[in-house]
């Protein structure tokens, strides 16, 4: 079972900062998870929210601000910087594209362009990079071009999905524990997010999920 650091080791560090990912390496994470958006000047930035208000206290809309402007109010990484770190540290990477956004499918286009330029380095490092989204339209844009994963928190969405990799919400897995084996039996790999409590770590271990996405990789690792 792989352990992915959700926005880095974000339980005790500022999310999606270089520090959070460096700590994740030290804590034994197998991989990183991040969310990405496009800045006004077309940079792929690792940022969850549509604005900087929660993180910085000052509100800038990510899509209406340049990378320089965003970095003037908060610390953040570009996807290129995080990908370079993942390659050098030999850590898998989960990239969730955020929707809705004003750029639509351009976010997937830009991510795929970046991954294509780094594909040899990714292969040489022996790591797996997966593009994720709640949006079926986004997944459709990635399908056949790169490894992808559908993210869902709904039972029917999971049961009816034909995807080879699915990321399920921990609440869904807790409510329907038999769902994991059903999906695995038909050939799907199951990742679970966001797993942060001891009881959740143990449940995922007992259910033999393929990966846990957690804010606390050290705690997850201690549960095996």
Name all domains of the chain by residue range, CATH numbers in brackets. Answer: 2-222 (3.20.20.190)
* Spatial separation of the C-alpha atoms in residues 182 and 163, rounded to whole Å: 13
Per-residue pLDDT in tens (0 to 9) along the chain, 224 residues: 999 999 999 999 999 999 999 999 999 999 999 999 999 999 999 999 999 999 999 999 999 999 999 999 999 999 999 999 999 999 999 999 999 999 999 999 999 999 999 999 999 999 999 999 999 999 999 999 999 999 999 999 999 999 999 999 999 999 999 999 999 999 999 999 999 999 999 999 999 999 999 999 999 999 87
State the Cα–Cα distance between residues 209 and 203, nearest whole angstrom. 9
Rounded to two decimals, what is the model's pTM?
A: 0.98
Residue 13 in tokens: 């560090």
Q: How far is C-alpha 158 from the geometric centre of its chain's CA atoms?
A: 18
Residue linked to tokens 């095996």: 224
């Amino acid at each position: 079972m792989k352990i992915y650091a959700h926005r880095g080791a974000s339980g005790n560090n500022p999310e999606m900062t270089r520090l959070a990912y460096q700590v994740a390496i030290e804590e034994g994470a197998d991989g990183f998870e991040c969310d990405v958006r496009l800045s006004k000047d077309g940079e792929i930035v690792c940022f969850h929210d549509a604005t900087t208000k929660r993180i910085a206290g000052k509100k800038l809309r990510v899509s209406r601000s340049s990378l320089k402007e965003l970095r003037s109010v908060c610390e953040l990484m570009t996807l290129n910087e995080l990908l370079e770190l993942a390659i050098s540290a030999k850590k898998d990477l989960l990239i969730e594209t955020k929707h809705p956004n004003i750029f639509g499918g351009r976010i997937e286009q830009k991510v795929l362009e970046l991954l294509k330029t780094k594909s040899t380095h990714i292969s040489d490092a022996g790591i797996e990079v997966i593009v994720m989204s709640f949006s079926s339209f986004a997944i459709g844009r990635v399908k056949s071009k790169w490894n992808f994963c559908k993210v869902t928190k709904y039972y029917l969405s999971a049961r009816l999905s034909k995807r080879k990799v699915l990321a399920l919400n921990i609440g869904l897995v807790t409510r329907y524990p038999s769902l994991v084996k059903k999906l695995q039996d038909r050939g799907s790999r199951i990742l679970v997010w966001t797993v942060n409590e001891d009881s959740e770590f143990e449940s995922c271990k007992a259910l033999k999920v393929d990966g846990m996405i957690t804010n606390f990789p050290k705690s997850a690792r201690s549960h095996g």
